[in-house]
A and B are shown apart, each in its own frame.
Chain A
Amino acid sequence: MKFGIQINEGPYNHEASVSALNFVRAALDAGHEIFRVFFYHDGVNNGTRYTTPPQDDINIVNSWSELAEKHNLDLVVCVAAAQRRGIVDEGEQERNGKDGNNIAPGFRISGLGQLIEAGIQSDRLVVFGD
């Protein structure tokens, strides 16, 4: 089965992202396909490489990046939600005249159309959040 994943909450503050990580790992292990993971609302905060949790805690951002590299996942951060919350890639840095960027490896910033497309193309869209 082909899954689309939507994550609506940031890391640490809410369990949504870790639940989604566990779900995606289990789905891949069972031979399913992940069409795309779309980060929306505060979920965009899963995509900053500046996250530095204590060493004895899980690094949620790195976990996504590593999983994306291993399974060639498409991790998409919503551009409108990202702009509000300061998640920036090189393109956004240039467009908005910022002095740096913070997007984590394996993530890309794109529009809400990517979420709609995930709904159309996937057999199931699974939303993580309240």
Chain B
Amino acid sequence: MSDIKKFMYINTKAPYGTIYAWESLEVVLIGAAFEQEVSMAFIGDGVYQIAKGQDTSDLGVKNFSPTYSALGDYDVNKIYVEKESLEARGLTLDDLLGLKYEDEDDDWAEKDSIRVVSSTELAEILEQQEVVFSF
């Protein structure tokens, strides 16, 4: 049987305040070793997880946002951000981390991993998934 499935990790919560975002990222990084077809989606307050310029020094907890930059090296390069969630929070693509990956099918050209999609488009993408984790 084919063991390659379409995995989707949906992130819905703010990066700090609860541990969901950090422990979700741990699943994605471990899961990358299983060579599945992986996508991630950020919706609701989850969009703050990949916001630029995070500073947790006054919180006294670890700033794990630099770890998202490693996703490209793990072949996790389909990262969908819901447009409506960004707009509702006054954010744009420029406020997000510049996550990149090297496309092995295009002479290792550096490309953007993040795609801003409407909720309708995201629903279509979710429809195609086989395993959906929500955090």
How many Å lie between the Cα of A42 and that of B11 in the bound state? 17
Chain B, Cβ-Cβ closest to A126: B132
The minimal Cβ–Cβ distance linking A39 to chain B, given in whole angstroms, is 12
Whether the pair A41, B23 counts as a contact (CB closer than 8 A) is yes
Chain A CB within 8 A of B33 CB = yes
Q: Could you mark each residue 20-48 of chain A with 1 if its beta carbon is under 8 Å from any beta carbon of chain B, else 0?
A: 00000000000000000000110000000
Q: Evaluate contact between B26 and A80: CB separation under 8 angstroms.
A: yes
Segment of A57-65, A67-75, A112-120 engaged in the interface with chain B: A112-120
Q: Does B30 contact A (CB under 8 A)?
A: yes
Contact A112 B133 (CB under 8 A): no
Known: A112-B27, A113-B33, A119-B7. A127 touches B19 (CB 8 A): no
CA distance A119 to B7 in the complex (A): 8
Q: Which residue of chain A lies nearest to B20 when distances are taken between CB atoms in the complex?
A: A41
Please, what's the 1-or-0 string for B43-59, where 1 marks a CB less than 8 Å from any CB in chain A? 00000000000000000
Q: Is the CB of B23 within 8 A of A116?
A: no
Counted as pairs of residues, one from A and one from B, with CB atoms less than 8 Å apart, the total is 47
Q: Is B67 an interface residue (CB 8 A)?
A: no
Q: Which B residues are CB-close (under 8 A) to A117?
A: 34
CB contacts (< 8 Å) of B31 on chain A: these are: 112, 115-116, 119
Measured in the bound complex, the distance between the Cα atoms of B10 and A8 in whole Å is: 14
- Contact, CB under 8 Å: B23 / A120: no
Q: Which residues of A contact B23 (CB under 8 A)?
A: 40-41, 80-81
A111 at the interface (CB under 8 A from B): yes
With A120-B131, A125-B133 known, 19 other A-B pairs at CB within 8 A are A8-B135, A40-B23, A40-B27, A80-B26, A112-B27, A112-B30, A113-B33, A115-B27, A116-B7, A116-B31, A116-B34, A117-B34, A119-B5, A119-B31, A119-B36, A119-B131, A125-B132, A127-B132, A129-B134
- Contact surface of B with A, Cβ cutoff 8 Å: 3, 5, 7, 19-20, 23, 26-27, 30-31, 33-34, 36, 131-135
